Amino acid sequence: MFALPWVAVMLAALATWLSVSRWLTIGLLIVGYSAALANGQLGLVAAVPVALLLVAAYAVLPRRKPYLQFIGHALFIALAIALNMHWLPGFHNLRVIAAQRFTADAVPFTMYLNLDKPLIGFWILLMLPWTRPQHQLFNSMKVGVVCMLLTTAACLMVALLLGIVTWEPKWPSASWLWLLNNLLLVTFAEEALFRGYLQGGLNRLIKQWPCADAIAIFVAAGLFGLGHAAGGWQWVALGSIAGVGYGVAYRFGGLQAAVLAHFGLNVTHFFLFTYPMLQPTGKL
């Protein structure tokens, strides 16, 4: 029962990503968040941001007046920032890895199964169908694999040159949990926000401009890089490089391609290189 909220939310993310059924996703979310509330993993105060997300959803529905849609998107952006940064109370995210060093020279890594951040991805994909441009599945997977290989090579080469990581193959005991969390809770939400909502939305706004696709890709990539600012300028640079690769995947293969490229890079980093990064000299 204690794990039910995260199992339900992960299944909802999988159903959303595979476009199985909108109502199945909503049903799983109701089960997951109700179980979290019953278990004490969700406080009553968390109902406030959830209610505000519903208000934003109502405001952005088709055929609403432009000023209502503007208010809805502004409200959602504010909530997305707060949820992504874990600023809102009431979400008691479960810590499943506590300050663990996967290799002796790595920075300790802590991982939570989040209930707040995934709400961003669900809101976007349930409310804004245009964030998921339709592509033939084989083409989407092909684009995703190509972009994953190129982006992974570029990012990890730069990371090696910067001395952030080194070659360290491993299989930590928490690997399967990390894989599920990274694919269904982390990458899912981040790609829905940065590629689907930001890149896709900007492209819709400036589609008449020359080089609109490139502008949208680089702006979303830059914002994605800034989202890694807590790690220092090196992570901002690496995040921006990765964001360009994911943006190209999204442009030519849709959201599934972007998620595949993002997840593939993360998996390569986790299993074959220092994770999350080398401990700075003198701080071991």
Residue range 28-60, pLDDT digits in tens: 999 999 999 999 999 999 999 999 999 999 999
Is residue 86 in a domain? no
Residues 160 and 270 in one domain: yes
Is residue 71 in a domain? no
Residues 142 and 9 in one domain: no
Residues 259 and 142 in one domain: yes
Residues 270 and 154 in one domain: yes
Residues 138 and 277 in one domain: yes
Q: End-to-end alpha-carbon separation of the chain, Å?
A: 39
Residue range 199-228, pLDDT digits in tens: 999 999 999 999 999 999 999 999 999 999
Residues 160 and 281 in one domain: yes
Is residue 50 in a domain? no
Residues 169 and 270 in one domain: yes
Residue range 122-173, pLDDT digits in tens: 999 999 999 999 899 899 999 999 999 999 999 999 999 999 999 999 999 9
Residues 277 and 146 in one domain: yes
Residues 143 and 248 in one domain: yes
Is residue 77 in a domain? no
Residues 37 and 170 in one domain: no
Is residue 102 in a domain? no
Is residue 269 in a domain? yes
Look up the domain containing 280 and give its range. 134-284
What pLDDT does 74 receive? 98
Work out the mean pLDDT of the chain and round it to a whole number.
94
Query: In the predicted model, is pLDDT for residue 276 greater than 70?
Result: yes
Kindly indicate the confidence band of residue 16, based on its pLDDT and cuts at 50, 70 and 90: confident
**Which has the higher per-residue pLDDT, 112 or 20?**
112
Is residue 174 in a domain? yes
Q: How many domains does the chain have?
A: 2
What pLDDT does 283 receive? 52
Domain boundary pick from 9, 24, 42: 42
